């Protein structure tokens, strides 16, 4: 799997969200460097779990669509005689 990378703009938004979470939920201030370090940790160590879950969800949707296509093809199949 490729490394999970964010654009600088995405990273800045996520870092602000991390800092806000610490401030509002944990009543702690976290600096820019620490928030970015935490984001990098989650992207590297936790990110693959979210990525794989997203892939599994996408596969489930694709599998359902394939079944629907198979059903539709079966419905238009013409009878043959021997």
Number of domains making up the chain: 1
**Cα atoms in the 13 Å half-sphere on the side-chain side of 65:** 6
Residue 39 lies in a domain: yes
| 77 has a pLDDT exceeding 80 | yes
Tell me the per-residue pLDDT of 37-57, one tens digit each, with 9 for 90 and over: 999 999 999 999 999 999 999
Range of the domain at 39: 8-76
Residue 3 lies in a domain: no
Measure the CA–CA gap between 65 and 59, rounded to whole angstroms.
10
């Amino acid at each position: 799997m490729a490394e999970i990378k964010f654009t600088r703009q995405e990273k800045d938004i996520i870092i602000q969200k991390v800092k806000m979470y610490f401030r509002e939920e944990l009543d702690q201030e976290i600096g820019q460097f620490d928030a970015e370090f935490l984001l990098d940790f989650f992207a590297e160590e936790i990110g693959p779990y979210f990525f794989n879950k997203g892939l599994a969800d996408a596969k489930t949707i694709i599998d359902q669509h394939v079944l629907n296509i198979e059903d539709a093809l079966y419905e238009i199949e013409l009878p043959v005689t021997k």
